[in-house]
Structure 1
Amino acid sequence: MEESEVRELLTVEGLRLLDALPPYRSGADVVQLSSRLRREGHPPSLIAAVLTQARLREKAVAKFGPFASRMLFTAAGLEQATRLQVAARHAARFRDAGLMRVADLGCGIGGDAMALAALDLQVRGVEIDEVTAAIAAYNLAPFPGAEVVVGDAGTADLSDVVAVFLDPARRAPGHDSTTRVDADQYSPSLGTAFAIAEESPTGIKLGPAFDREEIPTGVEAQWVTVDGETVELSLWSGALARPLVRRAALVIAGDRVAELTAPADSEDPELRPLERYLHEPAGAVIRARLIGDLAGSLGAGILSDRIAYLTGSSISTSPLAASFEIDAELPIDERRIARELRSRGIGRLEVKKRGVDIDPAAFRAKLGLKGSGEATLILTRIAGRRTALIAHRV
């Protein structure tokens, strides 16, 4: 999105036209809508801008819920933006620590700054890109305690704030670019971010696959999984870090929330032969290396070295792990598995795999499924053997 498009969009006519559009649809409906808007005399540049925003708003519902209908976005900003329920938890850390004046460095479209401002914190967003800053200012306009300034997050004046939130840009420059860059190309740099965290209470949002060896000592590292997707690693320093917590796994599944915390990585759980249930830890638990603590809470052991499946005699009632009851154990042989599934009338099959080089979609396609039943097929290794487990979720 170019600056001229934003200027045109941020007018009374542009915003009214955007809000008057019907729900976004692809294909012919959008072509027809564009033709109608041209017949009504709207400039082509404004039509393109409002249709782009309508598409982004529809996509943003997954992160921002109903608030998306009153926000503006760039493609890159939406891609990196924090989900609303996670941003709210970020903001609560600052409020609970009594840190009421916060700089949001590299604020993007303002998602985290909105969550901070919604808790009556004074927040200053700093964004180097003028187009993105204008969009953030629009999104933050309802909050009198929030402001956005155009500037370099790495050199921002922090003398009048007491804490910092920092979400380094992890994508190539450009409002529509969603191409990720390597950690040494983050903006501001990781060195700058970590230096700020040493001086002030700071939250740093990173990708969940960030190299654990690069995590500074003395900070709390919290991985977050939302509805089955591991979405971020947040590092918390100073008063924002919880006492004696250096590793945390937060899992949000709908309205269910659970968390594991520990002072360090947990010890590996004991190896155990397959029992009645198999447990699949949430991604945040795996990333945080807290599988051993989870196994202890479930009375479970690990099924195979270096493969994150647990087994035990009782189910998990927490979103920290999904449980499957085992119905059959077979070698990984397509014909034998297909016969077993047919005998059980399985027509709908979820395929999971760990520790074996198999494409689940391609494997499923070869099984010739028929029937009204459903099951989960887990392809893995047990005691070094390639093993297929037919199971159902509990």
Structure 2
Amino acid sequence: MRASPQRRTSFLDAPTSPRNRDAVTLVSLQKKSVTQILSATGDELAAEVEVASPLLDTGSVLLQQMPMCILVLIVCLVALQLGGFVTLSILGIPPRTGAVFMHLASFLASVTGVRCAYLLKKALSSQTLLAALCKLDQFVFDLKLEWSTASRKEFRVCVAAWILVTALYSGLQGREVWKTGLEELPWPKYVASISLAAVEAVVFMMSSALVITTSFIHSNLLLGLDRALDCYCFCVMADMDFEVAVSAWNSLQALLQCIGREFSDSFFTSQASGGLGFAVVLASGMMLAYQTAFDGSLLAQELAMALPVLFFLALNLRVFYHASSLTEKCAHIPAFVNQIPTGSSIDLDRQYLVRFISDSSPGFVVKDLRISRSMFVKLCIFTGGVLSALLGVLSRAY
């Protein structure tokens, strides 16, 4: 009689149910593998997070404690703002051509801020992500002081950026209000215009705070992962235990995949909104150039209203740079391990670690797309080329 086959116990084994078999994909198996590496399943995961809760940054704590009614309030104010635009158009007060950029900045910031805040609040409630952050704290334990210093510096930069962009937006909005007052509108129409400008300014201040908080959370985690790679390289060179280094790299790679997966939606949303705003500014700028007959001084004054939108583009490029730098550092680790002197001309353990790291395709991955330094350089070249061409047109027109 034939011996019965052994019972499958691995989560990688094929399921017996046809319904479950349809749900098995490479992505789902990767997620299960990462979860198992992080020793994060069910009650064990919850217990680990409860015992060693991760030290969240200021932005994450603010988002976690922020009630959902704040997001609902922003959505209601945006709806009120759109209704005000329609009402003013009916009253015969169409928006100025340059003021369209102000409306675009406010609407773009509100949509991006609300969407990213919701996605991040959802991600920060994930037990898998909290377990990954606990592991990240363990990795950077020796360099936590340096990470804390970088985190505080990043927080100060973000606060200064928010103050700068809100002051810029308020100044440009005040300029538009002053222009409206020069048109000698009837008192009811003037009050309606002022009220709409005030609502728009409040929406922009709240939404830009959410956008910059999202940028800070992304940058802070990317800096933490960067410090984790530094700590890993230091431990490999100090201990020269390549067998332990293989296991440590497996955990570190799981960290990269887990954090990239949990934050992929918010990262993609912020980057896409910045690119969309840049495209709209370019299209509107060319249309404005033809409407003003390429009057250089008038065109420059109106395009100054687009500075808040371009600010969000610069903010997204900064986060994109941190992500590409993380992938670039991962690509350099095999060469670093390969040059560690071991006293042996041919060290098979070291060579196995080099191949293991290279074959794991390390880096920061968003939506199955690895953010590389070459992508960042191409993006900067494209953005710089388009902006230089636009400035060239303006200089010739002026």
TM-score by length of 1: 0.20
Where relative contact order (Cα < 8 A, 6+ residues apart) is larger, the structure is 2
TM-score by length of 2: 0.20
Q: Which has more helix, going by share of residues?
A: 2
Q: Which has more strand, going by share of residues?
A: 1
